[in-house]
Structure 1
């Protein structure tokens, strides 16, 4: 936990990721809420209400140790990020909605993330254990989140062409740094990593799959379009695991709490890819069935 990779690399990784997010944002992304209030409201209820309840249920069901349980709640409370936008683009989701949701969620998380984390610590951790939020560290983390986002937005405002050129390099750097942070977090707990993987791996995979499914099916059942549901699925199913790791290590000062986010950060990529393929195939089959039905009626 005291390694340079964690103490220095984690803030840098988070700043680069959030700068990349800022490069894709404009003030219009926040104003777009007024254009799609229903889609945004449905997605936020899934993110802020349903997912913490799902995480709580899973950690209770699998009887996880207290610190790992808190780590899962932190993960569930973390917003989506640029990776969700990328997956939405690859699988034909409404990327504009993704960007709006990421922007709104990142701002709301300033309040909801510490609140849910504090509740989880109070619920799961024994009072005799000296663990709690360090509010000066919390302010530092949110400064690392907000300042790069604003800087990225300023860059886009000054030169949209430059922001577009920087998009791919910054995304690549974000992916590399995310991997480095995940490896560093797991290395800091290397003595217990096998035990943690056994305890957390299945739960992290189930949580990822449930998050993606909830994010897609509930909006679809409530009348959102296919591309909007795909966007919501990835936004709700792919969390900013770097922010969750920073919350555990920097703000709370406990590396064990970062393990669920680190494991999730590895598993979410293949699970989200398989989910995206399944959703697109389902959409293609549904479209084909509708075309056949229309053709038969025409006869």
Structure 2
């Protein structure tokens, strides 16, 4: 399960370029709007930090998975949203500014919440506890890949709006091509893993992924949050930062247990496919644009 050169270098570079492009469709006012009305962020945090870990614990308990696999699933449930969630949000015509804001907030909260949930999981499944912590540099990497390039794109949009409009469609095409390439690369790279663990871990990861997306979309909708924001919350909640969890599980300075990295590795493949299908369904249900007004 070692990272290839393509994934370790090419993937972050591609993400930086795409996040820069996505920022071209945003304005500073989009972020101030999200901050001035924080209720969707609060709802997203409750779903991400409270509901998902409880749901995941119930799933692994009912599935009677081995201790290491169970802890790996709990690691996944406690992880912040992945940077790819913003790309899916863009493709599904969701609130991109909200998606990025939630990713930033959950990444900071994960510094404290993730070690707590991991240590409780170790106690529940192993009967022991260890001092697991998330390092600040890992959170900063998320900001460097997702937030900073986006802010640069926002700056370009504010200074050169014509350039931003010109690049909007090519960026959407690039994002689609990028996601297809990531899915194919993940399927090829992790094929042996999926064959071995697909019937057990894959099934649990699939159920958890679908449940995460549905909770992320329908809980906000039930609380009268508008559709575009519910789409952003669904993607941010349903697409976890599997790479961060794999690093935490495999690092000898942290958990040092490669078996715990199996669930997030399987989930990383499944989530891209399921989220892609979810985007397709959402876009088919989206109202038609009227003039220049966005679909709501």
Q: Aligning the two structures, in what range does the TM-score lie when normalised by the shorter sequence?
A: 0.7 to 0.9
Inter-partner Cα distance in structure 1 for 2:113 and 2:184: 26
Moved more, 108-117 or 62-71: 108-117
Inter-partner Cα distance in structure 2 for 1:61 and 1:117: 19
Instruction: Give the alignment's TM-score, normalised by structure 1.
Output: 0.73
Inter-partner Cα distance in structure 1 for 2:276 and 2:144: 31
Shift of 1:256: 0.9
Shift in CA distance, 182/259, structure 1 to aligned 2, threshold 3 Å: farther
Query: 2:107 matched to which residue of 1?
Result: 106
Inter-partner Cα distance in structure 2 for 1:212 and 1:182: 21
Query: 1:86 matched to which residue of 2?
Result: 87
Preserved contact between residue 31 and residue 98 of structure 2 (Cα < 8 Å) = no
Q: Verify: 1:273 aligned to 2:292, yes or no.
A: no
Shift of 1:214: 0.2
Moved more, 233-242 or 164-173: 164-173
Preserved contact between residue 250 and residue 258 of structure 2 (Cα < 8 Å) = yes
Inter-partner Cα distance in structure 1 for 2:98 and 2:246: 26
Query: 1:235 matched to which residue of 2?
Result: 236
Preserved contact between residue 206 and residue 267 of structure 2 (Cα < 8 Å) = yes
Q: Verify: 1:115 aligned to 2:116, yes or no.
A: yes
Shift of 1:12: 4.7
Shift of 1:65: 0.8
Query: 2:264 matched to which residue of 1?
Result: 261
Shift in CA distance, 284/46, structure 1 to aligned 2, threshold 3 Å: same
Query: 1:294 matched to which residue of 2?
Result: none
Shift of 1:19: 4.9
Instruction: Give the alignment's TM-score, normalised by structure 2.
Output: 0.74
Query: 1:35 matched to which residue of 2?
Result: 36
Shift in CA distance, 227/173, structure 1 to aligned 2, threshold 3 Å: closer
Matched residues, number = 274
Preserved contact between residue 20 and residue 82 of structure 1 (Cα < 8 Å) = no
Preserved contact between residue 100 and residue 147 of structure 2 (Cα < 8 Å) = no
Shift in CA distance, 152/226, structure 1 to aligned 2, threshold 3 Å: closer
Inter-partner Cα distance in structure 1 for 2:8 and 2:242: 13
Shift of 1:142: 4.0
1:62-211 alignment, distance < 5 Å? 62-127=63-128, 133=132, 138=135, 141-142=138-139, 144-146=141-143, 152=149, 186=190, 194-211=195-212
* CA RMSD, 1 decimal: 3.7
Query: 1:292 matched to which residue of 2?
Result: none
Inter-partner Cα distance in structure 1 for 2:118 and 2:76: 9
